[in-house]
Amino acid sequence: MYNQIYNFISLGGPMAIPLIITSIFSLAVIIEKAVFFIRRKDNSLRLLKRIELKVENDDIIGALNELKGEKGPNAKLLSTALSHYQEDPVRIREVLQAVGEDEIKKMEKHLPILDVVAMISPLLGLLGTVLGIISSFNILGTAAGAANPAQISSGIAAALISTAMGLIIAIPTAIFYSYYINKVEEKSHEMNLSMIDIMDVITDRSERDVQTYT
């Protein structure tokens, strides 16, 4: 099995090495983003309900302590809002927007690498194809008599294999890139909805505080 893979790659010509390098970058990003989203997964509705109960009981410290073990973006928004709950609602909304943008940047980190790999892998494969064909024609052109079929076939094999390698790398990379981009959009929409609910909780508490003091 390993010998077949090695022979397949070795026949890919000079573009085999850069294609392998791009595949390593792609695989590293795919694994990193998978771990990232698994670790930062949270149930926003259930989390918000738990925090809302504590806020209604004026247990802000307890709510903040409960959020310490949470790593999701909604937990970050909640902890930020609770840390600034005494400030003006407009200011709180601005802070939440800044935190939300920062969370989106974290989710998008390294995703451009997948986009680049998906774009250049077929081009590298195509370049390997061109070089392989040129090699085959050079053999035909320099042959004094009948050209060696083995040499010609090796050049053609390199041309075809490099193209195949480029597509093998590009296709799954493009699929994962599209999946993660959709995941970021989904999380962004979820955070926007959470901001509205969070502001409702904070606003309700501020109104209760005003009524208490009056």
User: What are phi and psi for residue 12, nearest 5 degrees?
Assistant: -75, -5
Lowest mean pLDDT, pick from 41-50, 85-94, 125-134, 165-174: 41-50
- pLDDT score of 151 more than 50: yes
Average model confidence (pLDDT) across the chain? 80
The H or E element containing residue 135 is helix 111-142
User: Is the pLDDT higher at 139 or at 22?
Assistant: 22
Are 103 and 189 within 8 A, CB to CB? Answer: no
Beta-carbon contacts of 199 under 8 Å, excluding residues fewer than 6 positions away, are 81, 89, 92, 93, 96
Residue 172's pLDDT is 96
Residue 210's pLDDT is 46
What SS3 state is found at 146?
Answer: coil
Provide the pLDDT confidence category of residue 11 given band limits of 50, 70 and 90: low
Provide the pLDDT confidence category of residue 47 given band limits of 50, 70 and 90: confident
**Domain span including residue 111:** 2-213
Provide the pLDDT confidence category of residue 193 given band limits of 50, 70 and 90: confident
Per-residue pLDDT of 76-120, as tens digits, reads 888 888 888 777 888 888 888 888 899 899 999 999 999 999 999
Q: How many domains does the chain have?
A: 1
Lowest mean pLDDT, pick from 34-43, 61-70, 75-84, 93-102: 61-70
Most confident option among 35-44, 136-145, 150-159: 35-44
Residue 213's pLDDT is 44
Half-sphere exposure of 170 (CA within 13 A, CB side): 16
Q: How far is CA 169 from each of CA 5, 14, 35, 56, 108, rounded to the nearest angstrom?
A: 15, 16, 21, 53, 21
Residue 182's pLDDT is 95
Residue 2's pLDDT is 57
- pLDDT score of 31 more than 70: yes
Provide the pLDDT confidence category of residue 180 given band limits of 50, 70 and 90: very high
User: Rounded to an integer, what distance in angstroms lies between the CA atom of residue 80 and that of residue 152?
Assistant: 66
